[in-house]
Amino acid sequence: MTMRLALLPLVFALAAHAREPLAQRIAHTDPSKFRVAKSVHAGAGELHYMGMFDAATFSTNFIFLHRGVIPPGGGIGHHFHNHMEEMFVIFDGEAQFTVNGRTSLLQGPAGAPCRMGSSHAIYNPTGKPVQWMNIAVGSIKGKYDATDLGDDRVGVPLDPKPVFITMRLDKSRAAAVQGGPVKYRRVLQPEVFYTNWSYVDHYVVPAGAAVPKQAKQGVEEFWYVVSGEGKVTVGNETAPVKAGDAVPVFLGEAKSFANTGSGDLELMVVGVTRAKWALE
């Protein structure tokens, strides 16, 4: 009986997901919905962003997906996470990333995970806005924590080469999948993370090609459209997607992505498992 009761929240969550049409699940980047936040974690300037998914979206320990813009002179101040992990991502331009007090300039599209028990920050020193994303996964379902250090990281010394883990969405490094037209690379491995955050993947789908339909029993994902346009099929439903869209895929759901545009359809995938070494 105890086990049955423990499984009920998961069953109800999956049932709720199943009732929502695919087109309504897809989150769209919409600058008109960005909120303006000043001095985030005692950081410099402003941050403009919106929430795309939150802890209620998934049954795993995914906490949120935020998408926005860091204006010139803006950023997020230096702070610690002790029960969760985050990753800041920039899709264009450049920004100064800090992890555990060491700072380097990264060129987009790139990101740097902040592993559990570490500190991080980001700052835009340029004269142009930077397209930004923040992904958070917890060690406890729905648990967010942060301890600010009162440090905006403006004017700090820079390391020419980062002394922390970084990732780059480099299309030239993606390899053909089984000799076909679709290219793929696992950008970050499960070993990078301490939480149930399992991986970050990168797909490049040329015009007319598609990512074959597949399902993962122990993993939930979101697929973010970095560039291009296409259509996504989850189960028996199909919906259009374009740059800036994020598609949640729940436990056991089969999904595929097809490129319906003239250029590459570029996808970033984040996977979170029910258990750290669950089978994909």
Per-residue pLDDT tens over the stretch 197-206: 999 999 999 9
Report CA-CA distances (Å) from 59 to 121, 126, 142, 253, 275. 28, 39, 10, 13, 12
What distance lies between CA 230 and its chain's CA centroid? 20
Q: State which of 168, 193, 218 marks the end of a domain.
A: 168
CATH value at residue 181: 2.60.120.10
Judgement on whether residues 103 and 215 belong to the same structural domain of the protein: no
Judgement on whether residues 268 and 136 belong to the same structural domain of the protein: no
Judgement on whether residues 114 and 52 belong to the same structural domain of the protein: yes
pLDDT the model gives residue 15: 44
Judgement on whether residues 34 and 162 belong to the same structural domain of the protein: yes
Cα separation, 239 vs 120, whole angstroms: 37
pLDDT tops 90 at residue 219: yes
pLDDT the model gives residue 277: 66
Cα separation, 102 vs 165, whole angstroms: 11
Could you report the per-residue pLDDT of 25-75, keeping only the tens digit for each? 999 999 999 999 999 999 999 999 999 999 999 999 999 999 999 999 999
Assess if residue 8 is contained within a domain: no
Domain range for 176 is: 171-273
Of the pLDDT bands very low, low, confident and very high (cuts 50, 70, 90), residue 240 is very high
Assess if residue 280 is contained within a domain: no
The reply to whether the predicted model has a pTM over 0.75 is yes
pLDDT the model gives residue 275: 85
Cα separation, 275 vs 208, whole angstroms: 36
Q: What is the mean pLDDT of residues 232-238?
A: 97
Query: Where do we find the tokens 């999948």?
Result: 177
Report CA-CA distances (Å) from 130 to 49, 175, 223. 12, 28, 21
**Quick one: tokens of 48?**
């403009």
Report CA-CA distances (Å) from 152 to 25, 114, 268. 36, 17, 29
Of the pLDDT bands very low, low, confident and very high (cuts 50, 70, 90), residue 179 is confident
Q: State which of 105, 136, 168 marks the end of a domain.
A: 168
Kindly report the average pLDDT of the chain as a whole number.
Answer: 93
Give the total number of structural domains in the chain.
Answer: 2
pLDDT the model gives residue 59: 95
Judgement on whether residues 134 and 195 belong to the same structural domain of the protein: no
Judgement on whether residues 151 and 51 belong to the same structural domain of the protein: yes
Percent of the chain with pLDDT over 70: 92
pLDDT tops 60 at residue 12: no
Assess if residue 7 is contained within a domain: no
Q: Do residues 213 and 233 make contact, with C-beta atoms less than 8 angstroms apart?
A: yes
Judgement on whether residues 118 and 176 belong to the same structural domain of the protein: no
Report CA-CA distances (Å) from 63 to 59, 60, 93, 125, 220. 10, 9, 27, 28, 12
Q: State which of 168, 194, 228 marks the end of a domain.
A: 168
